[in-house]
Structure 1
Amino acid sequence: MSNNYDNWERLVEAVIRREQLWQMFHDQSPSDSSITSDISFNFQVLDGPFDFSSPGGSSQYQKLPPPAIKNSQKKENYVKQEVSGMVFFQNFSPVFDLEDMLRSSGKFLGKGTFGSAYMSSMDNGITVMVKSLNEVNISKKKFRNRMEVIGNIRHDNVCALRAYYFSKYEKPMVYDHYSNGSVSAMLHGKTGKNRDPLDWEMRLRIAVGAARGIAHIHKQSGGKLVHGNIKSSNIFLNSQKYGCVSDLGLASMIPSPIMRNAGYHAPEVKNTRNVSQASDVYSFGILLLELLTRKSPLHDIGGDEAVDLVKLVNSVNGKEQTANVFDVELLKDRNVEEQMVKMLETGMSCVAKTPRRRPNMAQVVKMIEDISMMNTRNGLQPKLVFIGGLNPDFDLEDMLRASLEVLGRGIFGTSYKATLENGSTIVVKRLREVIVTSIEFQQQMEVIGRLRNESVATLMAYYFSRAEKLMVYDYYGAGSLSSMLHGKIGENKISLDWDTRLRIAGGAARGIAHIHTQVGQHLVHGNVKASNIFLTTQGYGCVSDVGLATLVGTNLVLDSRSSGYLAPEVTDTEKLSQASDVYSFGVVLLELFTGKPSILSEDKDKAIQLVSWVTSVVHEDWTVAVFDTELLRYPNMEEAMVKFLQIALHCVKRVPEHRPKMSEVVRMLEDISGTNSEA
């Protein structure tokens, strides 16, 4: 963290005093987060200004009753003793400072489970949301530790915490402001004001975005982090109009009894101390039911009676009246009814009464993405853009009518095997979390499409829209190198002899070396790993997923299961390079040599990297122990295998400058196989 700003307490005290005035002049405090009231952080209220220049002055209290004066003076005296400053998180360069915030105008957004929210609009046009937490009985150390966890989560579908402040009485948190308001306001706001006509595509984008955000949260802190307060009022729309999750991690820090959020809580949750990832899934299931029905979690059916939304859906589910639960606006489009039914099934699986019967969020993401793919097939408009003057014997309509089979889900999206009606087979890669303009996307596709090399997977075509980005490749029937080496015996895993491994290594090396010669010798692959290497019809390695790391961003690579392939400097600097490609390829060579995955799991579930294991074994002169047992059948090849191992270890040197260029790696591998580049 950096950029500590002193005197934040002046803003804190302004917020305190404003809220006291608000409560004093209103019989009831607003309870709906969608209720707003104009305020200003430098205004005059009832002719009594907030005097920021003299926080100890008496004029600021003249309009408050004696108990409020005493309470405010007590808090202000404490703030004078403890000036911690405003703390901004790394990777966030603020274009405003404390004085900008003090001069800003604002709006009271309402009270939530954990505190009050304010919108702060500054003179430079920047708008942020300030959340002032309720009384929190927590030490400064624990609070800062929790802020570190929350603030360092970077994901397009998780609202970013920008800054925070700690004092005994007030703990404000600063977030980005989302001008579209919450999903709750969109669904349940008053007609003609906040309530918007939400079509099926928009509801799908809200669902898939929020699911991705929660799934990312659940991967943090060793896979143990819990949100704890998932509800439609905590879901917003990001710049790409996908769902974005807010209020992360506050439930575990601020335990409180279940009150008006009871409709979202799983049956096993008695208070927020008992929330879990399984209860997050339940709450997300309620969100899906809200999106489908446009009814609140506790649905008012008249009088003082309210029916739980899950019970309401269950009462018609299975009675051939499923359509009766859907929002009437959605029923206008009969083309999406099948998708809505599948979404309803997904939601009901999430709200299973027994936690163990609920899917995890990663599984939920897959279910919703598959539903979204159905929508893509129904709603895409022509046209496919074919690369390099190709004249294929299919078009978009043929592709949408094709039978699909999920091949796998990677860090950049889901790949489908599409069998066309004419009998040909292609691979359709559906990208996710790509936030680029159409021009940027087109330019990158043109770069990838020009990589005409037998050792680089050919990009045939692409499609771009605001909602969907598709890439079409040739299909490689043998599967990936990862499945060959590490798949289940009798299914994907096959026995690879020494010559085949050499051909795979040589072909993949030539592919990456060719990539490195493009764009003025500056192009980077960025995600070299065994699951992105396939076999050509001649049995040589062929590299796929070129350039997507540059397009999508490094964060996805860093957060993925590909960490065993990442060079040390990438983890530190978050920058990919051709040298880091060489490191990743060195890991692939070690996989080919040892038959082991890039990350090993040993006793006590302690994971160690393949590079570390091989290095330690070789250092102890137990070289034979690193051989894949299948390679021991070729005793006459031992010298060649040792050279192969030396090349791999040369590639994974810790210092980037000590690694060879990919062109040098190609020559070394060809020397082993007895071939040359001309041959």
Structure 2
Amino acid sequence: MPTARCYAPEVETTQDATQASDVYSFGILLLELLTRESPVHGGFEAVDLVKLVSYAKSKERAAKVFDADLLKLRSIREHPSIREHMIRLLQIGISCVSKLPEKRPKMAQVVKMLEDLMINAGNSVFLERKLVFVENGIPAFGLEDMLLSSAEVLGKGSFGSSYMAILNNGSTIVVKRYKHVNVSFKEFLQHMDVIWRLRHANVAKLRAYYFSRDDVLLVYDYQNQDNVYALLHGNKGSGRKPLDWETRLNIAVGAARGIDHIHRQDGQKLVHGNIKSSNIFLNKQQYGLVSDAGMARMMTPIGRSVMRNPGYCAPEVKDTSNVSQASDVYSFGVVLLELISGKLSEQRTGDGAVISLVKWIQYVILVDRNADVSDIVLLRYHNKKESMRQLLQLALDCVASVPERRPKMPQVVKMLEEISRTITGGKSSVGSRLEDLQPDSIDDEEREFLVQVLRFNNRKKN
């Protein structure tokens, strides 16, 4: 094609194509997309695109080379920032058509620049107002339907908020809105591919997602049951029905199975990263159902000072903000302690002091190994004391301060299933160690603080 203006100068003279000349030709393509001018004869007047944009050094000059119809688009008129990204795309194209081959970027660099541009543009062009249903699901509703529906706040966490939305068609969904996502769109899609494949009876099933620079929305089916936090610590009036021991144990078994399944994904490297009682629901069989799976990997690390529930964080996470499967085990151990004691993961005394449930239970047991830390509503289950002690020891193993001393989730599942069999008539090989409960040691400073807390609690009782 002797009249084509889409080949690099060195190709015109040598006829030898190279990767650098490919970059030049791709640069011409970018300039075509922006200017709507053709570099090739054939029903069009061929334009020397390189010469056309050569004087576009300023924003004002750059705007003059863009396709006039492109500038009339409503999305560009309503979002002035898009022009900035168009200019950036023009600059990428200009760098690709540099006369000297060695001054052109490599294609890997071009790909990265384009992907970064796509994300920085806030997806206002590429993904604006688009709700993507996973597994080729048929869209039953759209983003507008969600935004116009009546919604109720289910909870707020360190990374975002959860809402229950009732759509016009009568269906109910749960929408999780995240504000601290710190990955590229490509990385987000790769992670969504892992998340939606988490098919398990004890892991909440992802239905759809939405991605933009400012917000990420994940959509799940609504479970007709409350989350464990609400069931344990919610309304405690006369109409409240407390959880019985068997239900609490079923919650523990189901949630453990779900977390174990999560840990087995992505080459056994996937981490939940945000395990807490408000992220565990009851399914129809009254077993624990884990939600919010795997999102911590995509979030900007949150400092402990702004964490809403630091009581669930393993010691190493408080220091580094790096989550792991071992820190998941610690957080799950805190949930087990909640199920046993009925207490919050952190408690505040009258003078404003905050004490973690882990440290409180560890201290109580260090003072008196026969102390009963069970929820008062569980006192009537006299024949279940053995299983309660077994679960307490398992929880203490999970919240060991040293990550290497914590059990793996497959071990946790196995022990919980054995404990569960003891209350359904089966036999268990799990020893309760009634006289040898092993909490972590507590240093003198922590001991003195906990003594003061216990005294405060005693004064309140008196």
Q: Same fold (TM over 0.5)?
A: yes
Q: TM-score, normalised by structure 2?
A: 0.62
Q: Aligned to 1:604, what secondary structure does the other structure show?
A: coil
Q: Which residue of 2 aligns with 1:97?
A: none
Q: Separation in 2 of the partners of 1:489 and 1:201?
A: 53
How far apart are residue 466 of structure 1 and its match?
Answer: 2.9
Q: Aligned to 1:428, what secondary structure does the other structure show?
A: strand
Q: Which structure 2 residues correspond to residues 568-583 of structure 1 after superposition, within 5 A?
A: 568-583=315-330
Q: Aligned to 1:554, what secondary structure does the other structure show?
A: coil
How far apart are residue 523 of structure 1 and its match?
Answer: 0.5
How far apart are residue 413 of structure 1 and its match?
Answer: 1.4
Q: Aligned to 1:619, what secondary structure does the other structure show?
A: helix
1:505 pairs with 2:241? no
**Which of 1 and 2 has higher RCO (CA within 8 Å, sep 6+)?**
2
**One-letter identity of the residue aligned with 2:335:** V
Contact kept, 8 Å, 2:280 with 2:291, in 1: the verdict is: yes
Q: Which residue of 2 aligns with 1:474?
A: 221
Q: Which residue of 2 aligns with 1:600?
A: 347
How far apart are residue 448 of structure 1 and its match?
Answer: 1.2
User: What is the total number of aligned residue pairs between the two structures?
Assistant: 308
Q: Aligned to 1:586, what secondary structure does the other structure show?
A: helix
Task: After superposition, give the CA deviation of every residue in 1:452-500 in whole Å (9 maximum; x if it has no partner).
Answer: 1111111111011234321111112322111111113249964000000
How far apart are residue 412 of structure 1 and its match?
Answer: 1.6
Q: Separation in 1 of the partners of 2:378 and 2:210?
A: 44
RMSD: 2.7
Q: Which residue of 2 aligns with 1:519?
A: 266
Q: Aligned to 2:135, what secondary structure does the other structure show?
A: coil
1:628 pairs with 2:375? yes
How far apart are residue 611 of structure 1 and its match?
Answer: 0.7
Q: Which residue of 2 aligns with 1:424?
A: 171
Q: Aligned to 2:379, what secondary structure does the other structure show?
A: helix
**One-letter identity of the residue aligned with 1:629:** I
**One-letter identity of the residue aligned with 2:149:** A
Q: Aligned to 1:549, what secondary structure does the other structure show?
A: helix
List runs of 5+ in structure 2 lacking aligned partners.
Answer: 1-75, 82-118, 427-462
Q: Separation in 1 of the partners of 2:80 and 2:244?
A: 49
**One-letter identity of the residue aligned with 1:637:** K
Task: After superposition, give the CA deviation of every residue in 1:625-671 in whole Å (9 maximum; x if it has no partner).
Answer: 31110111100001111001010001011111111001100010100
Cα gap change, 1:395 to 1:641, in 2 (>3 Å): same
Q: Separation in 1 of the partners of 2:380 and 2:412?
A: 26
List runs of 5+ in structure 1 lacking aligned partners.
Answer: 1-196, 203-238, 243-375
**One-letter identity of the residue aligned with 1:614:** I
How far apart are residue 451 of structure 1 and its match?
Answer: 0.6
**One-letter identity of the residue aligned with 2:411:** E
Cα gap change, 1:240 to 1:481, in 2 (>3 Å): farther
Task: After superposition, give the CA deviation of every residue in 1:149-201 in whole Å (9 maximum; x if it has no partner).
Answer: xxxxxxxxxxxxxxxxxxxxxxxxxxxxxxxxxxxxxxxxxxxxxxxx99799
Q: Which residue of 1 aligns with 2:413?
A: 666
Contact kept, 8 Å, 1:413 with 1:431, in 2: the verdict is: yes
Q: Separation in 1 of the partners of 2:261 and 2:217?
A: 24
1:653 pairs with 2:407? no
1:386 pairs with 2:123? no
How far apart are residue 568 of structure 1 and its match?
Answer: 1.0
1:447 pairs with 2:447? no
Task: After superposition, give the CA deviation of every residue in 1:216-245 in whole Å (9 maximum; x if it has no partner).
Answer: xxxxxxxxxxxxxxxxxxxxxxx9799xxx
**Percentage of identical aligned residues:** 54
Task: After superposition, give the CA deviation of every residue in 1:27-62 in whole Å (9 maximum; x if it has no partner).
Answer: xxxxxxxxxxxxxxxxxxxxxxxxxxxxxxxxxxxx
Q: Separation in 1 of the partners of 2:80 and 2:309?
A: 32
Q: Separation in 2 of the partners of 1:469 and 1:650?
A: 36
Q: Separation in 1 of the partners of 2:292 and 2:145?
A: 24
Cα gap change, 1:415 to 1:663, in 2 (>3 Å): same
Cα gap change, 1:240 to 1:393, in 2 (>3 Å): closer
Q: Separation in 1 of the partners of 2:290 and 2:238?
A: 23
Q: Aligned to 1:507, what secondary structure does the other structure show?
A: helix
**One-letter identity of the residue aligned with 2:383:** N
Q: Aligned to 1:434, what secondary structure does the other structure show?
A: coil
How far apart are residue 621 of structure 1 and its match?
Answer: 2.3
Q: Separation in 1 of the partners of 2:347 and 2:188?
A: 36
Q: Aligned to 2:258, what secondary structure does the other structure show?
A: helix
Q: Which residue of 2 aligns with 1:562?
A: 309
Q: Which structure 2 residues correspond to residues 188-587 of structure 1 after superposition, within 5 A?
A: 381-490=128-237, 494-555=241-302, 559-587=306-334
Q: Which residue of 1 aligns with 2:63?
A: none
Q: Separation in 1 of the partners of 2:263 and 2:239?
A: 31
Q: Aligned to 1:555, what secondary structure does the other structure show?
A: coil
Q: Separation in 1 of the partners of 2:418 and 2:235?
A: 33
Task: After superposition, give the CA deviation of every residue in 1:288-317 in whole Å (9 maximum; x if it has no partner).
Answer: xxxxxxxxxxxxxxxxxxxxxxxxxxxxxx
Contact kept, 8 Å, 1:457 with 1:544, in 2: the verdict is: yes
